[in-house]
Structure formats: structure tokens, C-alpha cells
């Protein structure tokens, strides 16, 4: 079996974490604020988790969504949990704007506009980390 890239935390731009999961900044210049919520255990499907753990994981996803809405006021937030390429539980939390490169299509579709329409992410990463930290207390386990 190939090594799982989500089990390896090397090089991640960590915004928040606890023993259960973590939130990372995805360096996508066309999508400032793109985050990924990653379960720390190598688990493939949401239904492989106990109900309380599913709820806990989704609470983190929703907190990241709330933080992005508060910081960026996007036109829409896209939530995606695919796992076809990397079968390790993770959610993409992507702020979307009508002027972004792919809108209204998914960010993985062919672009409709040239790069650079998204604007700047200057100072966003630390602000987002602070806001997520205020929304999510760190669990001791």
C-alpha cells in the first residue's frame, strides 16, 4: 500500500488541531481561505466513525465554515468530502465568490476566468486561525 499523504502531517500549514482532527490552510492562490479538515486517524468513510465522532468531526467543519463566512463574507461556501484519490476522511471547506476563477462550477472544473480574480489573502491566515481557535476549544484527548 502507498503511504497516505493525509497521514503525513509534514509541511502542512496548520490553523487548528486537537488529538482528533486538524484544520489546515490549503495554499491555493485563486481560493484564499481554502481549508481542509482532516481526521487524524486513517479512516475511509464517515459511517466508519461512531455517531459521536461523526458529530464531533462535522462540528469542526461547521466551525471552519462559520469562521470563513465571518472573515470573508463569501457568496457561497462549498463543502466537499470526496476521497476518491485519497481515501482518508477529510473535508474541503472552500469560500466561493461569483468572480472566482471557476464560479459557479466546482473548483476542480475547467476555469471560466483567468487566474488572479480572487483577490488577496494578505493577513487572512492568522486571522482565520484565531477565529477558528475561538470557535473550537482544544480537546484534551
What is the CATH architecture of 13-135? 2-Layer Sandwich (3.30)
DSSP 138: P
Q: What is the pLDDT of residue 122?
A: 80
Q: What is the mean pLDDT of residues 65-84?
A: 95
Does the pLDDT of residue 57 top 60, yes or no?
yes
Domain ranges of the chain: 13-135
- The whole-angstrom separation of Cα 5 and Cα 37 is 14
Confidence of residue 80 (pLDDT cuts 50, 70, 90): very high
Phi-psi region of 117 (alpha: psi -120 to 50; beta: other; left: phi over 0): alpha
Amino acid at each position: 500500500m502507498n503511504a497516505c499523504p493525509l497521514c503525513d502531517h509534514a509541511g502542512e500549514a496548520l490553523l487548528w488541531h486537537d488529538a482528533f482532527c486538524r484544520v489546515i490552510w490549503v495554499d491555493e492562490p485563486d481560493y484564499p481561505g481554502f481549508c481542509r479538515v482532516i481526521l487524524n486517524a486513517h479512516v475511509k468513510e464517515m459511517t466508519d466513525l461512531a455517531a459521536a465522532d461523526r458529530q464531533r468531526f462535522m462540528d469542526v467543519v461547521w466551525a471552519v465554515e462559520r469562521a470563513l463566512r465571518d472573515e470573508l463574507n463569501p457568496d457561497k461556501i462549498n463543502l466537499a468530502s470526496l476521497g476518491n484519490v485519497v481515501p482518508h476522511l477529510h473535508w474541503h471547506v472552500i469560500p466561493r465568490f461569483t468572480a472566482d476563477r471557476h464560479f459557479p462550477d466546482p473548483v476542480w472544473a475547467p476555469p471560466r476566468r483567468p487566474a488572479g480574480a480572487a483577490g488577496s489573502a494578505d493577513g487572512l491566515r492568522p486571522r482565520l486561525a484565531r477565529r477558528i481557535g475561538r470557535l473550537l476549544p482544544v480537546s484534551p484527548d
